[in-house]
Amino acid sequence: MGNSTLLTSAGTLPQTLTPFPISRIATRYLLFDVHAVTYARREHNICGVLIGTIPHLSQQNVFLGIPLELMPEEARLLVEHGHAYIIDEVEAHKTGLLDMSRKDQLAFLQAMDKQGMEIAAESKKKAEERSQKALQGRGMARRARENTASRVSETADSSAKQRLADGDDECSVFEAEPRSPSPAPSHPPLAVERHFITPTISYPPLQTPNTTPTLSLPEVSKTYPLFAFLHSKGYFITPGLRFGCHYTVYPGDPLRFHSHFLATGADWDEEIDLLDIVGGGRLGTGVKKSYLIGGADTRRENASGAGSNAGDGVRAFSIEWAGL
Amino acid sequence: MATSLQPAHPVLPAPSRLTTHLLTSANANANASTVASHPPHLHHLARQIQHNLQHQHAWTALRLHTHVSGTDKPLPRPMLSGLAPVRLYVHPDEQVELLREAGKKRDEGVGGGNEEGVGEGKLDVVVEPEREWVLPTRLSEKWSLRRLAEVFDCVGVVPPGVEDEEGEGSQNMWRKRKRVVLATVDGDSTVVYYIVHDGVVKPRQN
């Protein structure tokens, strides 16, 4: 895509895309742009969960793709720190598509057509290269050459023919690459059938909505202070269901590290059953982790005032089996 | 069993060791000011844990604490401190350091002497036991972050030792965070022990 939103390398957002939009669809917070996904993970330690399957193979759920679903905590943290903002996706699509001018629509369709032609030409070129290689492998390069040569004979000059002829004299089986430029790319694709593009993201054609925080912050559970606290310490946090806790806490990217903590959040005065502490500590130690409970200290919160970060004034305790 | 077989005036069995321990310790403290600070059931709880540590886990130098050391402010409940026969907790960073030192020693052949043939290539890690805080609890209790924080606010990093041992606690440079051994006893007098650290402390590499 030749659009300004396309990025030079994965993981770096252009200045125009920070803060990036988080789509809210029916109380879920989703990222549809793979660049925003990698960016959030690399720069802001936000992993989320990939939830996209292939539409025709929805049972294929081993390797999931975009969209990335964010926990409400993750979405809120990104918004609070000014890295992202929430858009109501349904509303944005409605207004965006209705307000789009005819000129913009045509321009977008043309851009899609152009892109489709480019992709088609590219794939055709690749297919030709493949077949030529296969023919070479069987020692039928001569015929392949002749085929291509005869096709371009009207346009190709004599020197090119000479080079082709020279090439045929040598043992062409082990030839690494054709010395003459392959005629196909220089040849305008005559009967290439255009590929039809289904864009995976809506921005563009839709204008990215303005960044005014029209939507309120994502609603989060009472464990949010603990989440923000751990995130502020540089930990990566993923959902903790598989260990029976609120969050699984990693000291680095979960692809590179084992998790250190099974974290459970609680209110300052919330009653905690000692059996839960014992169970969590025992489970955590069994999988070489610590069980961590924590929450916002209301005493300190009142003292420091309301303008502080959510992660401030959080007290946490790490629990491990003593081995006695 | 049929009730008619029981004598009219049943003779109580002799009190168990634990009961004796609880009763005598309660009597010993009867006139001390410590009893007034906390209800007796908490004292009994602490004594029960003390008994378990002393006789089942061979802890030594066990002390009952009722007040924040050096002040007359009472602790949230009576707590214990003691010395485990072997080190109870080794921080992962300290473990790395200890292993490195042990490896160095082995390579130098220091102290290999008579065990040269037997202990070839064996790491000899030396860890001194440390005094630990113990927080006695009952399984039926409910706790909260506030109450845990109150306990931690009242204890130091290292428990105050017996007078002649004073000063040995600050030697371990790896012991920076407060830690308390949470002792939880169930109705059947099973006691489980968990190490609780104040703050985010990475897990041990066991």
Known catalytic residue: A126?
A: no
Query: Cα distance from A227 to chain B (closest Cα, Å)?
Result: 13
Q: Tell me: pLDDT of A232 over 90.
A: yes
Closest C-alpha to A272, from A323, A319, A233: A319
CA atoms within 13 A on the CB side of B150: 15
Q: Tell me: pLDDT of A318 over 50.
A: yes
Q: Which CATH class name applies to A221-324?
A: alpha beta
| Peptide bond preceding B78 in cis form (omega within 30 of 0) | no
pLDDT tens across B101-140, in order?
888 888 887 554 454 444 456 777 888 888 999 999 999 9
Mean pLDDT of B149-157: 91
Domain segments of chain A: what residues? 1-99+206-216, 103-186, 221-324
pLDDT at A180: 47
Better-predicted residue by pLDDT, A107 or A216 = A107
Inter-chain residue contact A268 with B197, CB threshold 8 Å: no
Out of A117-121, A177-181, A235-239, B84-88, least confident range: A177-181
Closest C-alpha to A9, from A31, A50, A39: A39
Q: Does B143 touch chain A (CB under 8 A)?
A: yes
Domain segments of chain B: what residues? 38-89+130-197
Closest C-alpha to A265, from A234, A311, A306, A215: A311
Number of Cβ pairs closer than 8 Å across A and B?
105
Inter-chain residue contact B143 with A277, CB threshold 8 Å: yes
Mean pLDDT of B18-46: 73
Query: Cα distance from A254 to chain B (closest Cα, Å)?
Result: 16
Inter-chain residue contact B145 with A294, CB threshold 8 Å: yes
How far is the C-alpha of A125 from the C-alpha of A84, rounded, in Å? 41
Q: Tell me: pLDDT of A149 over 80.
A: no
% of chain B beyond a pLDDT of 70: 79
Query: Among B155, B194, B198, B202, which would you mutate to test the A interface (most chain A Cβ atoms within 10 Å of its Cβ)?
Result: B194
Inter-chain residue contact A322 with B195, CB threshold 8 Å: yes
Q: Record the tokens describing residue A202, joined without a space.
A: 């809506």
Chain A residues in contact with B195 by the CB 8 A cut-off are 319-322
Q: Does B127 touch chain A (CB under 8 A)?
A: no
Inter-chain residue contact B204 with A316, CB threshold 8 Å: no
Known catalytic residue: A235?
A: no
Residue A284 burial (10 A CB sphere; 0-12, 13-18, 19+):
buried
Long-range contacts of residues A176-182, Cβ cutoff 8 Å, at least 24 apart: A178/A132, A182/A125, A182/A128, A182/A129, A182/A132, A182/A148
Mean pLDDT of A279-287: 93
Mean pLDDT of chain B: 81
* Complex confidence, ipTM: 0.83
Chain B residues in contact with A311 by the CB 8 A cut-off are none
pLDDT at B48: 92
Q: Which of A278, A281, A322 is closest, CB to CB, to B88?
A: A322
Query: Cα distance from B36 to chain A (closest Cα, Å)?
Result: 27
| Non-local CB neighbours of B90 within 8 Å, separated by 6+ positions | B98, B127, B204
Query: Cα distance from B206 to chain A (closest Cα, Å)?
Result: 7
Q: For residue A265, what pLDDT band results from cuts at 50, 70 and 90?
A: very high
Query: E strand or H helix at A265, and its extent?
Result: strand A261-265
CA atoms within 13 A on the CB side of B36: 5
Known catalytic residue: A231?
A: no
Amino acid making up residue A163 = R
Beta-carbon count within 10 A of B189 CB? 10
Q: Does B83 touch chain A (CB under 8 A)?
A: no
pLDDT at A306: 46
Cα–Cα–Cα angle for B179, B182, B185, nearest 5°? 170
Query: Cα distance from A255 to chain B (closest Cα, Å)?
Result: 18
Q: Which CATH class name applies to B38-89+130-197?
A: alpha beta
Q: Record the tokens describing residue A104, joined without a space.
A: 């913009």
Q: Which is it for the CA torsion B189, B194, B198, B199, positive or negative? A: negative
How far is the C-alpha of B59 from the C-alpha of B179, rounded, in Å? 17
Inter-chain residue contact A268 with B203, CB threshold 8 Å: no
Q: For residue A8, what pLDDT band results from cuts at 50, 70 and 90?
A: very low
pLDDT at A196: 83
Task: Choose the most confident range, by mean pLDDT, from A36-50, B24-38, B168-182.
Answer: A36-50
